[in-house]
Amino acid sequence: MRWHMLVQLPLLVLAGLCIGQAWRDWPQSTVLEHGQACSRARCAVRDRLRAWNHQGISGLLLASVVMVLWMLPLALDAALDQPWVTAAKFLSLPLLVGVPWALSWPSAGLLVRGVFVVELVATLFRTGWLYLASPTRLCTNYLLDAQQATGQGLLVAGSAIFLLAVARVLWRPVAGGQNQRTKTRERAMAPWHPTVPVAHDRHAGRRRPAK
């Protein structure tokens, strides 16, 4: 169960993130083997996605819903018992979680990102506490010890993401202030070059230094 929840699912999401990152960074002027028509079709698809995914809200909401779905005990059991559910898991996590996450994150504002991270941490805490505190097995394919160990791992993962998010929020003002002080110091240490006033010579039709 630990392998399923803490290794396999994050790796599938990571694969989708890599696919979305490659799609986002692919230049629009790239011409494929089918010529400009394929490039124009790709640009049209990107424009439609941007219109649907305004400020990254729709994409991050889709990623959150699908991610919560595959953390449910019923979905874990079904993914082991039924092949079509397993195939759906391997397709939906990269394409409906990782790719929307990668495409939506750059266009999302600070508030949208904060809500997404808070919901992610809360989901990990809720699911981890459920697996850890339940006196009975929630998944019929896993033992109680494996279930409790998975709950501990989810709590640790949620705590790590929370601490990273807090550190990033606290570090950003400090890093911004240091960069501003560095730029001010560089401007103060730069050599001063006096400017020479220039007057216009009407007779010659050109500029000459003013006396």
Note whether residue 14 is domain-resident: yes
Q: How confident is the model at residue 25 (pLDDT cuts 50, 70, 90)?
A: confident
Note whether residue 17 is domain-resident: yes
In this prediction, residue 55 carries a pLDDT of 84
Quote the domain boundaries for residue 135.
Answer: 2-44+55-186
Residue 210 vs residue 93, higher pLDDT: 93
Report d(CA 129, CA 122) in Å as an integer: 10
pLDDT, mean of residues 73-97:
93
Note whether residue 205 is domain-resident: no
DSSP 8-class letter at 136: S
In this prediction, residue 53 carries a pLDDT of 79
In this prediction, residue 29 carries a pLDDT of 45
Note whether residue 6 is domain-resident: yes
Note whether residue 122 is domain-resident: yes
Q: How many domains does the chain have?
A: 1
pTM over 0.85: no
Three-state DSSP at 155 gives helix
Please state the φ and ψ torsions of residue 205, each to the nearest 5 degrees: 75, 25
In this prediction, residue 1 carries a pLDDT of 85
Report d(CA 117, CA 135) in Å as an integer: 29
Burial (CB count <10 Å: 0-12, 13-18, 19+), residue 120: buried
Note whether residue 76 is domain-resident: yes
Note whether residue 128 is domain-resident: yes
* Inter-CA distances, 149 with 5, 47, 125, 131, Å: 11, 45, 14, 8
Note whether residue 151 is domain-resident: yes
